[in-house]
Structure 1
Amino acid sequence: MAEREATMPLVSAPGGAGRAFMATLSRDLRLACRRRGEVLNPLVFYALVITLFPIGISPDPTLLSVVAPGLLWVAALLAALLSLDSLFRGDFEDGTLEQLALAPQPLYLQALAKVCVHWLLTGLPLSLMAPVLGALLALPAGSYAVLSLSLLLGSASLSLIGAIGAALTVGLARGGVLISLLILPLYIPVLVFGTGAVEAAAALESAAPQLSILGALLAISLIVAPPAIAASLRISING
């Protein structure tokens, strides 16, 4: 009942689309605060993978510093992937998505608000945690800022791209595996340039080209993803 009451501002928010966007954002943040376990799962997974890797492979700092950029990025990608299946599922099951689709406000804007919440609760904390975990992998201290910045840009793109897959599979009972199959190929450019930025910084080279490409990928995702998410949600609702 509490979650149902929390959906009311989405369809009854007076004013324009901006107010509806903020209503969706604040509502989803309040609901996430009631499900702290789900919010913490990706962060705990990220920390465990990075912590256990030196134990399972080798504690040699030279070896760890070589694999650290790729490992930090792959673990962050998988951690973000963990929470995608629940991005729209709760709203689909209780009928909130149908209300959003019928509301006068654009559906793509409401979907973008949900993606922002996903990034705030997953991508942003992962970006802040990464330098601490990078120290465990003997990552050079000079690359910490680039690591955080690359994850800030890249994780936003991951959330936007992943939301398309989550919207397409929200009506399926076991959509988690399908999400991975659908969106992992689209994640590869973000992973390549994100890892490349950290490797360049670790080698005392300029990471500006890789960061610029990550910014361009984020800009493209911001343009393309919201309409694609809205169209996918309508397909799932009507299907």
Structure 2
Amino acid sequence: MLNALMCVVRRDLLLAFRRRSDVLTTLFFFIIVASLFPLGVGPEPQLLRTMAPGILWVAALLASMLALGRLFALDYADGTLEQMVLSSEPLTIIVIGKVIAHWIVSGLPLVLLAPVLAVQFDLASSSVAVLFVSLLLGTPVLSLVGSIGAALTLGVRGGGVLVSLLVLPLYIPVLIFGAGAVGAEVSGVGATAHLLLLGGALAGAAALAPWATAAGLRIAVE
């Protein structure tokens, strides 16, 4: 099963490398959204520090959601997904591999880029570190939960809009805990509780989301 998992991850990363424009679109969207807010609200440092956690997390959430449509759609269109469902390997392992590749392509770059963008909000180094850790814990949850919505809307007309309506309510706790961790660090309360909640959300999503996604894919293929 580990070999199958690595093969799926490697395959999806190679395909993503061949479609670099899709990856760059997600990154540029994140950069543009995060950079427009300081221009719009003005240069007041205290205001920027207060707004930074919510702005950066909302920008990361929306950028991650942009990439959900590519998670299964291409494999569904060319028939590869049907072969995956009929494969002797457990479909949950294949789903986990695709989600890992999706996070590496669309989530990890946001995690690495966020501390750089945080500089324009005048965040302290400790707050930037908490932002990095919160995104490192939270963005995999976005990919795991988003995979459920992507599977349920596969092949449906207007699936891009529908998947947004399905996953956005489920993203709200992650957004609250992620932005709240940075906000708590800025206010001096400490971010430990928020980060522990994000870790719990990641553990729960990792345990449950692949099974739900696999069930959704079987329904879509049938």
* TM-score in same-fold range (> 0.5): yes
Gaps of 5+ in 1: 1-16
Q: In the alignment, which residue of structure 1 is the partner of 2:26?
A: 42
**SS state at 2:68 partner:** coil
Kept in 2: contact 1:127–1:152 (CA 8 A): yes
1 or 2, which has the higher helix percentage? 2
Aligned residue identity for 1:182? L
Partner of 1:204: 188
Partner of 1:216: 200
Shift of 1:141: 2.3
What are the superposed Cα offsets for residues 63-95 of structure 1, whole Å, 9 maximum, x if unpaired? Answer: 111110111101100000000011100000000
Q: For residue 178 of structure 1, what is the aligned residue in structure 2?
A: 162
> Residue deviations 1:208-229, cap 9 Å, x none?
1100000000000011100000
State how 1:85-104 maps to structure 2 within 5 Å. 85-104=69-88
| Aligned counterparts, 1:55-134, within 5 A | 55-134=39-118
Contact 1:50-1:75 within 8 A present in 2 as well:
yes
2:178 match? 194
Aligned partners of 1:171 and 1:237 also within 8 Å: no
Structure 2 segments unaligned to the other structure (5+ residues):
none
Higher RCO (Cα < 8 Å, 6 or more apart): 2
Percent of pairs with identical residues: 53
**In 2, distance between residues paired with 1:66 and 1:146?**
15
Q: Find the aligned partners of 1:55 and 1:194 in 2 and give their Cα distance.
A: 24
* In 2: Cα distance, 1:98 partner to 1:209 partner: 42
- By how many angstroms is 1:140 displaced? 2.2
CA contact (8 A) 1:25 1:116 kept: yes
Runs of 4+ in 1 over 4 A off after TM superposition: none
State how far apart, in whole Å, the 2-side matches of 1:174 and 1:23 are.
Answer: 31
TM-score normalised by length of structure 1: 0.91
* In 2: Cα distance, 1:80 partner to 1:92 partner: 20
SS in 2 for 1:105: coil
Q: Scaled by the length of structure 2, what TM-score is found? A: 0.98
The answer to whether 1:166 aligns with 2:166 is: no
- Equivalent residue for 1:11? none
Q: In structure 1, what is the Cα distance between the partners aligned to 2:221 and 2:43?
A: 50
Instruction: Determine helix, strand or coil for the equivalent of 1:85.
Output: helix
- Distance in 1 (CA, whole Å) between partners of 2:37 and 2:166 is 27
Q: For each residue in 1:157-203, what CA deviation from the matched residue of structure 2 results, as whole angstroms up to 9, or x when unmatched?
A: 00000000001111113211001100100011101000110011112
Task: Determine the C-alpha separation between the residues in 2 that align with 1:200 and 1:21.
Answer: 38
Distance 2:65 2:114 in 1: 17
Counterparts of 1:116 and 1:173 in 2: how far apart (Å)? 26
Offset of residue 35 of structure 1: 0.3
- Alignment RMSD, CA only? 0.9
Structure-2 residue corresponding to 1:7: none
| SS of residue in 1 equivalent to 2:156 | coil
Q: CA deviation at 1:54?
A: 1.3
- What is the DSSP-based 3-state SS (H/G/I as helix, E as strand, rest coil) of the residue aligned with 2:189? coil
